[in-house]
Amino acid sequence: MYTVEIVKDKFWILEDSGIKLGTIRRTKSSDFEVIIREDGFETLSLNALTSRFGSKILKSRQVKKIESVEYGKDLDEVEGYPSKHRAYNKSMDDKNIPIYTKTEKSKVLYAAGYYGLAFPGAGWKNAYCVKRETLDNYEYIGPFKTKTQLEAEINRMIK
């Protein structure tokens, strides 16, 4: 667990492996208001804060931000399929889906390329670089290397 300082000596985001867990804010009385998603709100002295989270909790850690781009643009590729994120741990899975992670240490898999997803009651929708898990939960077509290929296939299926 570590913090990312937002306002110098006043406000920190409490994170673990890039996931926001809560916030820490210094009060006028020099105590700290701590809000943690599961634990709620509490006010702690500096001693209580460092006792609970460690002596370096207020030493801000600079975390590398994950790059990503909007739908239809690519930042990287996996086996010739575009990715909207910088891709790490690139490979093809057992269903011939090009997969990757957003960071070297991440365990969350993403599927590179364009996909058509069939949502109950909503029909076919375009998707770009979805979580791999999403493909297990919905009917899909893909991967496609371009948005145009995906849209042509969805139009063919609708007719």
How many CA atoms lie within 13 Å of 49's alpha carbon, on the beta-carbon side? 25
Give the model's pLDDT for residue 19: 75
The continuous run of DSSP H or E covering 146 comes out as none
pLDDT interval class at 95 (50, 70, 90): very high
Rounded to two decimals, what is the model's pTM?
Answer: 0.58
The C-alpha angle with vertex 53 and arms to 65 and 36, in degrees rounded to 5, equals: 70
Residue 103: φ, ψ to 5°: -135, 165
- Domain borders along the chain are 2-53, 76-158
pLDDT tens for each residue of 7-49? 888 999 988 766 788 899 999 998 999 999 777 899 999 999 9
Q: Is the dihedral of CA 121, 124, 126, 130 positive or negative?
A: positive
Structure tokens given for 7:
């306002």
